[in-house]
Amino acid sequence: WKKLYLAHHWPVTVCKMSANDCQDPPEYWTIHGLWPDKAEECNRTWHFNVSEIKDLMSDMRRYWPDVLHSSLNRTQFWKHEWDKHGTCAATLEVLNSQKKYFGKALELYLHVDLNNCLLKAGIKPSSSYYQMTAIKEALTRFYGVTPKIQCLPPEEGEKAQTIGQIEFCFTKELQLRNCTALEGESALMQADLKLGTEELSVCSDTLPTYYPSQVQ
């Protein structure tokens, strides 16, 4: 693999995407995962062990919650992310244990500070619509790189797309880089986003964009 995606998802949109027991989703962007491109499930014998990340637990619950299953034994989401993505990321020395992988993802999340950046740019959840180009420009201006932004396409009778996920890309040295996909790079990552029946896809630049403040 060549780069890492740090995926943030917007909990309100995640809840909108599937029938589930979402209870009061967080009103801030949370971590979906840290994903190497082009690699999945690299070591099926390396099992997730929650006790290895016990020191990270309060941050994990706050910044990396299982949005869809707020009430259940909530380590399942982390196990999935480790099995599918962490075992592949572990070829890098700085990510080569569960504690390092989850710890570094939290560190990158706090460093990127997406919630704060959007607020500073005046982009906050609202009942009125945004232009996707304005959101992109704000992020690119702030970070100096192009992130990948994904939306729920408009439902029947709606005219707006709903913002759902913002991914930042990093080099193997963990430096921010553009996410613009080289040919053939993006097919694999799409598979991770099927929640319920609806799927996220790269946002359209022309559709009005809804950034919802609570689950409808």
Q: What angle do CA 190, 73, 34 make, to 5 degrees?
A: 30
Say what percent of the chain tops pLDDT 90.
76
**What pLDDT does 198 receive?**
64
CATH number of the domain bearing residue 117:
3.90.730.10
Residue 133 lies in a domain: yes
Structure token pair of residue 8: 């943030």
Q: Which of 81, 111, 156, 185 is catalytic?
A: 81
Amino acid at 164: G
Nearest to 188 by CA among 35, 13, 80, 34: 35
CA distance linking residue 192 with residue 88, whole number of Å? 15
CA distance linking residue 216 with residue 214, whole number of Å? 6
Quick: pLDDT tens for 33-69: 999 998 899 999 999 999 999 999 999 999 999 998 8
Catalytic residue at 85?
yes
**What pLDDT does 156 receive?**
86
Structure token pair of residue 160: 């707006």
Residue 8 lies in a domain: yes
Q: Which of 85, 111, 156, 173 is catalytic?
A: 85
Q: Which of 27, 32, 137, 167 is catalytic?
A: 32
Number of domains in the chain: 1
**What pLDDT does 16 receive?**
85
- pLDDT over 60 at 191, yes or no: no
Residue 152 structural domain: 4-211
Residue 71 lies in a domain: yes
Catalytic residue at 32?
yes
Residue 216 lies in a domain: no
- E strand segments, the chain: 4-9, 30-36, 130-131, 148-152, 161-170, 176-177, 194-195, 198-199, 201-202, 208-210
